[in-house]
Structure 1
Amino acid sequence: MDDPESLDILFADVGAARDQHRSPFKFLDAYGVGDRSLFFGRDNEIRDLYARFYRSRVLLVYGESGTGKTSLIECGLRSEIPAEEALFVTVRTAQDPFEAVRRALQRVLGNAPERDLDALLRAVIEQKNKILVLVFDQFEEFFLFQPASVRQAFARTVQGWLEQEGNCRLVIGLREEYLARASELEPYWPGLFHNRLWIRHLARSDAEAAIVGPCEVCGVALEQGLVPHILTDLSGGGSEVELPIFQVVFDSLYRKALLETPEHPRLTLDAYRELGQIQTILGRFLEERVQSYGEGSELARQILKALVTAEGTRQFGNRQNIAIRARQFGPELSDAQVDESLQRLIGDRLVREDPDQHWYELRHDALARQIRQWMSGLEQDLVDLRQTLENRLLEYQRHGRLLETDLLATLPPFENRLALRGELAELVEFSKRRARQHKRLRFLAVATVFTVVMAFGVFSFVQWQEAKRQKVQAEANFRRANEAVDHFFTQVSESTLLNQRGSEPLRRQLLEKALNFYQDLANQRAEDPQMRAELAAATFRTAKIRNLLGDHRQAEAAYRQAIADFAVLARDHPEIPEHQSYLARSYNNLGLLLGDGGDAAAARTAYQNALDLLERLARDHPEVPAYQSRRALSEHNLGILLSDGGDAAGARAAYQNALDLQERLVRNHPGVPEYQNNLAMSYSSLGVLLSDSGDAAAARVAYQKALDLRERLARDHPEVVEYQHKLAMSYNNLGLLLNESGDAKAARAAYQKALDLQEGLTRDHPEVPEYRSYLAESYNNLGILLGGRGGDSAEARVPILKAAGIFARLTREFPQQVAYRAGWARAEGNLAWIELIARQPREAIASASRGLEADPQQLWIRINLAHGYLFDNHTAQALAIYTENKDRKLPEGKTFAEAVLSDFKVFRARGLQHRDMARIERLLREISDHGHDGSS
């Protein structure tokens, strides 16, 4: 085949008027009501739409990008509804949705007087005397570009129209991947999910009708065999055809035929073959058009990239913000350059312009996907970050919320390329200024903070009690003292350094100082609701400190007092959501405390109370993501409680509830790493549950999702050491699962990744014992893997020796830490087994003895000790241990005797024999048989 003909000549005159011939195809434009005579292949969907239109006042049309949803609504449905019966008004919600509806309605009324939006909508219905059908097209833009507060306000406004205006209906066009996001609108728009139609790509038979029908109408001939040949190529042997490529191919053939025989255009197989690779035609057309601009090609690329979202969809822009966005992808552009480039792109049918508002956008998301492929990783990050900032600007304008420090921390590497201007630049500067102020407060030296805070706190607290004549000033002083102590408490309770060796007495002393302040405060009483709230909050913090200090009984009492206080405040002042929020937090923390104490029933009740409160808060205040986040954490905590209690189904449901909430938070707030971290935690917990339940495949999926999130967090936030620690834990969990599933090679790779991270953490942060503990655990797990299933005992010995050494040092440094002592015992017990397999019974005896010294309650280590004595020919000592412990139960349910018999089978399989093994087996079986009399 010859080289494909350049697509440039096929589109050379795409901007010229064509009065002589009507094109049977639409390229990347949607069909409108005037195109009904050309709209073929969708008769079944049109009938379904027509029937559903009258079924409910809300109709949802959803499907993949490129399935023709807009054409079905604007051409198919509108052509079926008589014009005298209904007035269709199409609205795009990428910009301010309220203003978009206002402009659309004002166009209907012409020069109408200014009025509020509700009155304007009523005026349209009354003056036109028709059903008003608001068509929210490309409605995924609503979720992409509008913050939660705007979405909620708009949903409530539309709810009012549906309830009060009998002649108002909604038709919504939505990409199917945003269907879950639409669930937040269901409480406001009745029937949203009950009256929906899924639009799929054209079936081949329908695609043939969509080709032949328009060509017959427009007098365009088709060579025999052309249509089935092209459809086979377009469907890839499948049963469906993608509309964007379909339209571009046939529009290209038509324009080529029009150039060659304008009076009698005919589409031929030869012309089709000249197009080249069909699946890449759109990308090639786009590339060739841009290349044809010569020196202006890079400028055009900048403009086109500025019209693409972080998700690879199109977005609106006016000349000004297109120029600002384009700065991310190259040099600064003048107004004249932007205008000239936009006009060329419009002429080439790549970009369209809203004639009223002079907004510009790509003609189709198919183009956006191609353009996104041009972007480097850095450019994609810039688009994502700017989109996040633009959404946060709307939040700031409505609610005064500045940017979080985590988001600000991501900006420095990108600020020069972002070229922030105007309101966005001001928002960033205001947020930085506030963050600097907070940072100065947070990073005062602990001793200075402690001295100043306590002195000021006592002085102000006395003032508050005694200076009734100066009540306002005294209360102000008190609140400043309270805030300062809050900062102090947060620093002490969360400090990594104060949790380390040698710091426990200081940490306890500092926490007790804060406790005394809060305890004195909590014992006061006040009539002022604000002061009552401060006192209740002090009780809550008292409970937290009691728990940190290990005073669990007093912590429980304080939490119950906080619950009682906040319940009264929430009842008396339902308009203040913070009271309900504190009440929910108190219930959640009480649930954690009760669960750790073994009272599962009471803990479950506490969690449920927290969830009921948080569900109501999240519903009533969707603009506050913290309520959704706390609700998800309570669901997660409930899942852990149910899992520990053996209720796997209940735990899985709770974890799934947490995941649904956290997935939504991550989508809506991609710049908040805390939400990604919490989502990873829930996936990890679900993975543990699924693994314990025997569903290894599902567990692996959950672990992998946690791993993906934590890898991204560790990469994007290298300054947050905890993210690297959590990532290592995920690799370790995955290694355990893979080992249990028999995939030793993959398990070893996972353990090695965990070890690489943990060795770095231990090297860089030797003051944090937790990192050393997890490093030892990973070494231990790797050793078990290497020594199992006929493995190399010499190779397995190395990591387990490392684990035992680390745990032994931790036990000496922190003798009160039971977990370190248990880890040491576990490593020594595993080492004893490895020594047995390696035919080193004396070393096995030594390791098992050290393990039992660390933790005498580990019965399985006693078995390894007995085996060591047996193979070292101290049969009497071995027999004594075997018989003394024969009926004791191991944690997994086996008796001591059953475990010994099982080990003997392993020894024989490994070629290990002892002359007394058969005798001991008979003895243990006889003892076991005689020891059971049938009683229960």
Structure 2
Amino acid sequence: MPNKGDSPFKFLNPYSRGDIDIFFGRDQEIEQLYQYAFQANLLLVYGQSGTGKTSLVNCGLAGRFQTSDWLDLYIRHNSDINASLIKAIRDKMEDPPAVNTSPIKLLFRLYLDYLRPIYLIFDQLEELFILGKEEEQTTFIADILKVIGLGQADDEEEKKLLAAVAAGALPCKVIFIIREEYLASLYAFEKEADGLFRKRLRVEPMSPGAARDVIKQTAATRKQVLAPVSDIIAEQIVEAIAERGRVRLPYLQVFLDFLYREAPVVEHKTTFDLPTVKRLGKLDDVLATFLDEQLADFVIKEQLAQGQAINFLKAFVSKKGTRRPLSKPELAKALPGYSQGDIIRMLNFFTDRRILNPIENEQYELVHDSLAAKLFSMEARLVEIPELNRNVLPESLFPGLLPYQADQAATFLGREVEIQVLFDKIINDLRGSVTLLYGPTGVGKTSLIQAGLVPRVQQLFPCRLINCGSTLENEQWAALFAAPVGKHNEIRILDIAFDDPLPIGEQRRFLFFDQVEEWFIHLDEEALGNLYRHLRQVFQHDVACGLIFIMREEYFSYLPAFQAKVPEMLERQYRLEPMKWEQTSILTDSLLDLLGLQKKEALHTQIMENVVDKEGNTNLSLVQVQFKYIQQQLVGHE
């Protein structure tokens, strides 16, 4: 890209009060919100991601007020919305009081410091419902109701303050900014007070006409560096970024930023032209190009793998595909196996490249949800699945009615796709540490783990395969079932599984629990409760330890109690499907080849008729029995 200095466009950053001279296209919404500010103490601004909700409030609405009438506190969830609220208030105060002072008390003192109307702006409130705990949400609702004069006092001082709020002595407005798909989450507020969100504004994506005006007006205000933009060029830009006839403001900013950097300079001014607009293509192409450019540059400059960078950035994406802020310590927990040095290097690199923004409480986040959505759909394979040595075959190639064992891994065929998918979920997806593998009886879950997955994983990381039925007869496990978690939070499961366990969080390791239904069948409620708590100790305190649970799907009804202790239990799951005709046919050919019986079509047909039922599902035990018998016959004829 030509070096033209700083771009006059905002890229993915929201507009602020200082940008009011270049904030166009939202006059009607600004006026509506301005009127609402005099009609209610609680305002709701909602809309799709990328419609410019934050800019509308922080720039459009803020720009309508004189500084003497506007004291804004911008608040995000961060790690706890209640702590963020208190911190935002205290940071504005001249002489903050004791730390345990409630928000309503702090707000009265803040008002006395400035004697200006206070605006509490809660941006991306959906984070509270995505990331926040129930207790945190309850506390927040109670505090906000106090601020707007509808809450219950906790002490005599608050009782007097709430009476003062009702009398209009605290000019404080609350503005919620939230994505519209999370509106239902606000029901918890409306249960406490009917009609709470009467003053609400839906921010629509821009019309093409308004977007064209924004482009032309922005160029006119930056005429020192930009040539005037014609109607034809503005129309072409809008066509490149419009979705179903509407335009999202942040996407317009991204495209204009790229266009500014790529467009030619004519008579000392950047000039938007048709060839450059067409060369950039559609918005999705621009975002993909931007990410690809930064990732490629990262590999060159930092000498680290691109997959490592993608997984690093995906740590800032929630399970819902939205942004989630993280601090450096939280990053270390979210990225087991990453060194502290690598984390710092990646933080610095992607902050410099405008992909990450530093925010409050020493946290970082992606600059916009559009990048989060893009990363959410990206796959990054950090670790390649190891190959098995198939040159040395076991004496018994097939297990008959038993599951395949680890020493038969070289002859366990037909599930290569499923092994790769599970390997990527467990090893390469760093967004969680718990995986559930389930399926009906007879689909080969145990064989898949014992002969397919564990022999590959153990080439890379320490891992243990624990048969849950065997734990019922083990003294160490019996003691664990009988004992609640100790005062010192010892992680006893790791002590049992690994004779010499590694320090907590120091290296990735994996525990596979096969036939979990054995616990459900044979342990009483108290023993199950103790077990769940011990497993939660691993989940909470050793993020480098992956937990994989394998069970029959008919025992799914037991999982809610399990999930209450291990929250990720149902977040990442994989159903092992019965093998179908085509897959079985390929498997049969492979096993016949293994026995040196290539091109035995009659035998192939006979086996298929014996092992595939009328619904097209394969009985894998019958496959194993058939081939064990064939091998025995071949040995008998030698």
Alignment of 1:626-645 (within 5 A): none
Structure 2 residue runs of 5 or longer lacking an equivalent are 150-161, 381-420, 436-453, 463-474, 485-516, 523-559, 579-611, 624-638
**SS class of match (1:37):** helix
Of 204, 208, 215 in structure 2, the residue corresponding to residue 204 of structure 1 is: 208
Aligned to 1:46: 30
Of 226, 238, 248 in structure 2, the residue corresponding to residue 242 of structure 1 is: 248
Identity %: 25
Of 124, 128, 131 in structure 1, the residue corresponding to residue 114 of structure 2 is: 128
Is residue 2:86 matched to residue 1:102?
Answer: yes
Alignment of 1:301-700 (within 5 A): 301-327=310-336, 331-335=337-341, 337-354=342-359, 357-375=361-379, 382-385=429-432, 439=481, 671=568
Aligned to 1:225: 232
Task: Name which one, 1 or 2, has greater alpha-carbon Rg.
Answer: 1
CA contact (8 A) 1:325 1:418 kept: no
Q: After superposition, give the CA deviation of every residue in 1:100-134 in whole Å (9 maximum; x if it has no partner).
A: 11221122114534341333222112222222211
**Structure 1 residues 181, 348: CA separation in 2 closer, same or farther (over 3 Å shift)?**
same
**SS class of match (1:76):** helix
**Structure 1 residues 353, 495: CA separation in 2 closer, same or farther (over 3 Å shift)?**
closer
Query: What letter is aligned with 1:150?
Result: E
Q: How far is 1:385 from its partner? A: 3.1
CA contact (8 A) 1:309 1:387 kept: no
**Structure 1 residues 185, 436: CA separation in 2 closer, same or farther (over 3 Å shift)?**
farther
Residues in 1 aligned to 2:195 and 2:461: alpha-carbon distance in whole angstroms: 42
**SS class of match (2:326):** coil
Of 275, 283, 287 in structure 2, the residue corresponding to residue 270 of structure 1 is: 275
Q: How far is 1:83 from its partner? A: 2.6
**Structure 1 residues 340, 441: CA separation in 2 closer, same or farther (over 3 Å shift)?**
closer
**SS class of match (1:198):** strand
Alignment of 1:687-766 (within 5 A): 715=575
Query: What letter is aligned with 2:322?
Result: T
CA contact (8 A) 2:265 2:271 kept: no
**SS class of match (2:432):** helix
Aligned to 1:72: 56
Q: How far is 1:243 from its partner? A: 2.8
Residues in 1 aligned to 2:127 and 2:121: alpha-carbon distance in whole angstroms: 14
Query: What letter is aligned with 2:191?
Result: P
Query: What letter is aligned with 2:315?
Result: A
Aligned to 1:25: 9
Point out which structure has higher relative CO (alpha carbons under 8 A, 6+ apart): 2
Count of aligned pairs between the two proteins: 422
CA contact (8 A) 1:139 1:174 kept: yes
**SS class of match (1:134):** strand
Q: Give TM-score, length-normalised by structure 2.
A: 0.58
Q: How far is 1:222 from its partner? A: 1.7
**Structure 1 residues 759, 291: CA separation in 2 closer, same or farther (over 3 Å shift)?**
closer
Structure 1 residue runs of 5 or longer lacking an equivalent are 1-8, 389-411, 420-432, 443-490, 497-662, 677-711, 719-751, 764-936
Q: After superposition, give the CA deviation of every residue in 1:356-410 in whole Å (9 maximum; x if it has no partner).
A: 532111100111111122235766775553599xxxxxxxxxxxxxxxxxxxxxx
Aligned to 2:291: 286
Q: How far is 1:89 from its partner? A: 0.6
Aligned to 1:60: 44
Kindly indicate which of the two structures has a greater share of residues assigned to helix: 1
Aligned to 1:646: none
Alignment of 1:769-784 (within 5 A): none
Residues in 2 aligned to 1:189 and 1:417: alpha-carbon distance in whole angstroms: 56
Q: After superposition, give the CA deviation of every residue in 1:538-589 in whole Å (9 maximum; x if it has no partner).
A: xxxxxxxxxxxxxxxxxxxxxxxxxxxxxxxxxxxxxxxxxxxxxxxxxxxx
**Structure 1 residues 716, 252: CA separation in 2 closer, same or farther (over 3 Å shift)?**
same
Residues in 2 aligned to 1:667 and 1:37: alpha-carbon distance in whole angstroms: 52
Query: What letter is aligned with 1:214?
Result: T
**Structure 1 residues 73, 245: CA separation in 2 closer, same or farther (over 3 Å shift)?**
same
Q: How far is 1:333 from its partner? A: 2.2
**Structure 1 residues 760, 289: CA separation in 2 closer, same or farther (over 3 Å shift)?**
closer
CA contact (8 A) 1:303 1:323 kept: no
**SS class of match (2:339):** coil
Residues in 2 aligned to 1:717 and 1:438: alpha-carbon distance in whole angstroms: 34
Residues in 2 aligned to 1:215 and 1:343: alpha-carbon distance in whole angstroms: 32
Q: How far is 1:37 from its partner? A: 0.8
**SS class of match (2:379):** coil
Aligned to 1:156: 142
Q: After superposition, give the CA deviation of every residue in 1:631-679 in whole Å (9 maximum; x if it has no partner).
A: xxxxxxxxxxxxxxxxxxxxxxxxxxxxxxxx9xx99997466xx9xxx
Residues in 2 aligned to 1:58 and 1:418: alpha-carbon distance in whole angstroms: 53
Is residue 2:127 matched to residue 1:141?
Answer: yes
Residues in 1 aligned to 2:182 and 2:281: alpha-carbon distance in whole angstroms: 35
Q: How far is 1:147 from its partner? A: 1.1
**SS class of match (1:135):** strand
Kindly indicate which of the two structures has a greater share of residues assigned to strand: 2
Query: What letter is aligned with 2:182?
Result: Y
Residues in 2 aligned to 1:282 and 1:67: alpha-carbon distance in whole angstroms: 17
**Structure 1 residues 758, 276: CA separation in 2 closer, same or farther (over 3 Å shift)?**
closer
Alignment of 1:888-899 (within 5 A): none
**SS class of match (1:222):** coil
Q: Give TM-score, length-normalised by structure 1.
A: 0.40
Residues in 2 aligned to 1:73 and 1:414: alpha-carbon distance in whole angstroms: 50
Query: What letter is aligned with 1:275?
Result: L
